[in-house]
Amino acid sequence: MREFAFELAVCAAIEAESDGVVARQLGTRSRVVDVVEIEPGPEFDARTEITSEAIPGPAIESDVGVGRARRATAAIDADPGRAESIADRAVEIGFFEAERRGRKRVVRQATRYPDWIGGLTAIENKPDLGRPGDLERQLRKDVSLSLFDEIVLVTGSYVTGAHLNRIPDPVGVRRFDAETGSFETVREPSRLRSDSAGIAILEESAAKTDIEPIGPERKARMRRRIAERAYGKGWRPEALPGCERAAPRGPPFGPEDALPYCEWKERFVDPARECGPECPEYAPTEPPAVDPDALRDRRTGWKADPGGVARRQAGLGRFGEDEDGE
């Protein structure tokens, strides 16, 4: 099975057994992780009420509070234009509220940012261990940085002792059967020290290895930003192919899974790369009427259309002035 199709099947199976949030193709400090699973923390429900979108990291980290209104340019660590754009986005999704004070706009948090992240797991997909590519180096980077609490390799191959010897010891290994959607645990992952300092491996050569120490506070920010992107992104393709040969299904998954399955190729496909006039069996039609967000809402704790928490007061004066008194 091709990696894209394997990844979709893995995501569907993980989501079915998880009570958290699953997302795919998320960038970290040094590379893109195939799949991220977030375990819900104690205030997960509070997070679902704020917005279905990712909350910008600089807005969360800003010197703006529930009871403290400030100008975005003074409170957000970015150049003025970017600070205003970040504030605009935070207001748009309901995390900030805005008010005019004279000729200036001030913002405050509509709610306290909740403790909703219980744990982060990075999942590396490799259908065929006979074609490992940079797998060992990638996993070694992940273990060194320890940005995630656990790291798991998922493969469709039979796993031998030789394979395990080339995979860093803390990395868990699961074998996945895409025909049944079932997992077999080959090796349990070890818990990494995600709350302590880590080492980011940047460049490697025969002569030297360039590294960057990442302290606990910076790592905590990175983890929160990854979790927010995962919460807002999910893993399903945004659109299914507009082709008579395509259908939102695929064994062992049913139509409700909304996965892009090609009946001619008899496998999942990447709509952006494999579907279109270049395909010899392409027969254009309207894309299937499916709603990935509604499906995600129904299958997980994520809410597609939360009520929001913005209180929309007539003024922000009661919540305190910004530190410049404006």
> Would you state the pLDDT for residue 59?
96
> Would you state the pLDDT for residue 252?
60
Q: Compute the half-sphere exposure of residue 209: CA atoms within 13 Å on the CB side of its CA.
A: 10
From 89, 43, 41, select the one nearest 62 (Cα to Cα): 89
> Would you state the pLDDT for residue 80?
94
**Exposed / middle / buried, residue 122 (Cβ in 10 Å: 0-12, 13-18, 19+):** buried
> Would you state the pLDDT for residue 268?
82
CB atoms inside a 10 Å sphere around CB 228: 22
Q: What is the CA radius of gyration of the chain?
A: 22
Q: Using DSSP, state whether 267 is helix, strand or coil.
A: strand
Q: What is the pLDDT of residues 296-326, one digit of tens each?
A: 999 899 999 998 886 544 344 444 444 443 4
Give the span between the Cα atoms of 265 and 211, in whole angstroms.
Answer: 44
| Whole-number Cα distances in Å, 50 to 113, 304, 309 | 9, 11, 6
Give the span between the Cα atoms of 308 and 319, in whole angstroms.
Answer: 19
> Would you state the pLDDT for residue 142?
93
> Would you state the pLDDT for residue 322?
45
Burial state string for 39-71 with b = 16 or more CB within 10 A and e = fewer than 16: bbbeebebbbebbbebbbbbbbebebebebbbb
**Which tokens go with 69?**
């209104």
Ramachandran category for residue 276: left, alpha or beta (phi over 0 → left; psi -120 to 50 → alpha): left
**What is the full DSSP assignment across 195-252?**
TS-EEEEEEE-SS-EEEEEE-HHHHHHHHHHHHHHHHHH-SS-SS---BTTEEE-BTT
| Positions of the chain with pLDDT under 50 | 312-326
Tell the residue number behind the tokens 């010891």, with chain if given: 169
Tell the residue number behind the tokens 């040094």, with chain if given: 30
Tell the residue number behind the tokens 């800003």, with chain if given: 62
> Would you state the pLDDT for residue 159?
93
What's the angle, vertex CA 124, arms to CA 118 and CA 125, rounded to 5?
130
Helices (H) and strands (E) in the chain, counts: 10, 13
From 98, 78, 80, 79, select the one nearest 90 (Cα to Cα): 98
Residues 6+ apart with CB under 8 A from 40: 19, 20, 21, 116, 118, 301
